[in-house]
Amino acid sequence: MQKELLMKFTLNGQKKEYTGQADLTLLKYLREHEKITSLKNGCSPQASCGCCTIELNGKATLACAIKMEKVAEGEIVTIEGLAQRTKDALADAFVAAGGVQCGFCTPGFLMRGKAIIDANPQPDRQEIRKALTPNLCRCTGYKKIEDAILMAAEALKENKTVEELILQADKSEPSSKAPHREQNTSRSEGRFRSSKGSGVGEREPKYDARKLALGQRPFVSDMSFKGMLHGALKFSDHPRAKVISLNIEKAKSLPGVQRIFTASDIPGDRYTGLIVPDWPVMVNIGEVTRYIGDVLACVVAENEDIAREAVELIEVQYEILEPVTDPHFALSEKAPALHPKGNLLSRTAIKRGDVEKALREAAYISQGTYNTQRIEHAFMEPECCIALPQNGQLQVYSQGQGIYEDRKALAKILSQIEEDVLVTLVPNGGGFGGKEDLTVQGHAALAALLLQKPVKIELTRDESIRMHPKRHPIEMDYTVACDKNGKLTALKADIIGDTGAYASVGMKVLERAAGHATGAYHIPAVDIDSKAVYTNNLPCGAMRGFGVNQVTFALESCIDDLCEQGGFERWQFRYDNALQEGHSTSTGQIITGGCGARDTLMAVKEKFQNAKYAGIACGLK
């Protein structure tokens, strides 16, 4: 039995009394009981992301790490409780400095900025940088956030608005930008819109930036509907195991549980996928799981806590099987087939010229095996979806990256016509490719359709990492040759990408890896073989760069090696081999215009050659 306490405290200047669980987090209390959603849940209760920063007893505090019993007699301030002047200075500065992108992290940074300025009304950049350590941003980049805090501090110290500060700086330096300022701004109804009107060549503040900065533009997890139920997923306990039985009786009898869905409840196609329908929304009894993010059941209950408690009561009997974790083994005859068509998802081969002859005649050859790791997108907003019946149709609020793809997939799962599934994109708190595949949308839509009630399903940070696809780890066997003058003559590449349990867009990623294996260089003879391979690891799919980053690492490393062997200057070698008009790419396409590799190299020449340490990172594709 949870300990219940009476707690008295002040919230945004108002006296509050709360009788409830002593170990409830302040984050949950504020978001669920007080309906204050400006503070976000990015990792609760891990205190790792800073999205839930508030002020407790005058100090910036992470609300997910504070239990309600610690709040007794305390004073809590959220963005809503800030003095209007402070709120305006901070929000306007974040907008003007371009310190907001997806905005999921921004309210946390805004509260952190307030604490920094309280401690020192004239903070310097180093001080700000240090104080921002508990807060993470995945999309904006920290410099603009630092600029915003510097700008807000200046406005507050000068007793001016951010707009006045910018106009003043414009007057004193009409041709240059005001300090820390990103946008060409002046006040209008939208606050900080272009002073010259909008149009090509004008900088505009990001749409909804001020609302985002203040935490006023809802993300899916901030939304709720009357009578809304909450779902939680039962994931497979093993990457590869036959599901012998699934006992949901104990879970079903927990008070507050509305219904538990399993694979047999799905009215339409159980398999989904952006290109190949190989990914089951739920795994059925008698089937073999393929990774630890496979879903066996979906519990829907009155609230999330009950749903999660019920998930723990689901009993599964497995026949545990050895997982296939190495793509090389997956391709061997000894490996079990993880999918009906085997473990090779795709193969791309590109051959041009006589590679063997070029290698025999080469002056220098670089050969190496390069491995890149699996990478998590680490968007700040974990996946969340709400589905509800509305006027005979199903309305779905998705934070995915393709609402039409979502709709097509959901209609198939539910056996509905597409026109009866309305998907509204709620701009997400970061995706970077990691939200292209369906995760919780299928389960929320199924539950809402069958229960005819609004259902929300939200993943925890751990579940999010467990479920969604990552960047492919790729092993690349590279052989690159050049002549005695440093002209590239041949490239041989054997590329194996671990696409994990499901295809996602793995075949396209490995196709791109092959197509970009020669980077932005002209190499007349190539022999490239690129494979996407199924394993029981986490699925891999889209992420910025899409296979190109990986092969660029291998190729540029080989080029550095060739330069060392032949004593070539590293910038010049790249410039001499860069693609130009009239050249053909590795895939045989002739460049007829718009090839910027040499211009790019020229632009970075000085910095590259004068770099204090190793050089500068420069990936060309």
Residue 451 CB neighbours (<10 A): 17
Q: Which is nearer to ligand FES, 79 or 283 (CB)?
A: 79
- C-alpha 472/C-alpha 464 separation (Å) is 17
Q: Name the minimum Å distance from CB 49 to ligand FES.
A: 9
Q: Name the minimum Å distance from CB 102 to ligand FES.
A: 3
Q: Name the minimum Å distance from CB 294 to ligand FES.
A: 29
Contacts of 512 (CB under 8 A, 6+ apart): 546, 547, 548
- C-alpha 619/C-alpha 577 separation (Å) is 14
DSSP-derived 3-state class of residue 372: coil
Q: Name the minimum Å distance from CB 109 to ligand FES.
A: 7
Q: Which is nearer to ligand FES, 37 or 586 (CB)?
A: 37
Q: Which is nearer to ligand FES, 43 or 105 (CB)?
A: 105
- C-alpha 26/C-alpha 258 separation (Å) is 27
Q: Which is nearer to ligand FES, 142 or 608 (CB)?
A: 142
Cα 181 to Cα 99, 123, 125: the distances in Å are: 10, 17, 15
- C-alpha 338/C-alpha 319 separation (Å) is 15
Strands (E), 315-426: 315-320, 344-352, 364-371, 384-390, 393-398, 421-425
Q: Which is nearer to ligand FES, 280 or 382 (CB)?
A: 382
- Contact criterion met (CB below 8 Å) for 450 and 229: no
Q: Which is nearer to ligand FES, 113 or 473 (CB)?
A: 113
Q: Name the minimum Å distance from CB 358 to ligand FES.
A: 47
Q: Name the minimum Å distance from CB 206 to ligand FES.
A: 10
Q: Which is nearer to ligand FES, 103 or 323 (CB)?
A: 103
Q: Which is nearer to ligand FES, 353 or 427 (CB)?
A: 427
- C-alpha 321/C-alpha 89 separation (Å) is 59
Q: Name the minimum Å distance from CB 382 to ligand FES.
A: 12
Q: Name the minimum Å distance from CB 521 to ligand FES.
A: 34
Q: Which is nearer to ligand FES, 145 or 548 (CB)?
A: 145
- Contact criterion met (CB below 8 Å) for 453 and 228: yes
* Ramachandran quadrant class, 202 (left: phi over 0; alpha: psi -120 to 50; beta: rest): beta
Q: Which is nearer to ligand FES, 5 or 139 (CB)?
A: 139
Q: Which of 520, 470, 524, 459 is nearest to 497 (CA)?
A: 470
Q: Are strands 488-500 and 384-390 parallel, antiparallel or unpaired?
A: unpaired
Q: For residues 198-234, b (16+ Cβ closer than 10 Å) or e, as one string? A: eeeeeeebbeebbbbbbbbbebbbbeebeebbbbbbb
Q: Name the minimum Å distance from CB 508 to ligand FES.
A: 26
Q: Name the minimum Å distance from CB 140 to ligand FES.
A: 4
Q: Name the minimum Å distance from CB 113 to ligand FES.
A: 13
DSSP-assigned letter for residue 31 = I
- Contact criterion met (CB below 8 Å) for 470 and 539: yes
Q: Which is nearer to ligand FES, 290 or 377 (CB)?
A: 377
Q: Name the minimum Å distance from CB 139 to ligand FES.
A: 4
Please state whether the peptide bond connecting residue 45 to the residue before it is cis, i.e. omega within 30 degrees of 0.
yes
Q: Which is nearer to ligand FES, 53 or 550 (CB)?
A: 53
- Contact criterion met (CB below 8 Å) for 351 and 527: yes
The pair of structure tokens assigned to 480 is 């690159």
Question: How many Å is the maximal CA-CA distance in the chain?
Answer: 84
Backbone φ and ψ of 152, nearest 5°: -65, -40
Sequence-distant contacts of 355-358: CB under 8 A, at least 24 apart: 355/490, 355/491, 355/492, 355/525, 355/526, 355/527, 357/525, 358/481, 358/489, 358/490, 358/524, 358/525
Q: Which is nearer to ligand FES, 370 or 379 (CB)?
A: 379
Q: Which residues bind ligand FES (CB under 6 A)?
A: 100-106, 137-140, 380, 430
Q: Name the minimum Å distance from CB 95 to ligand FES.
A: 12
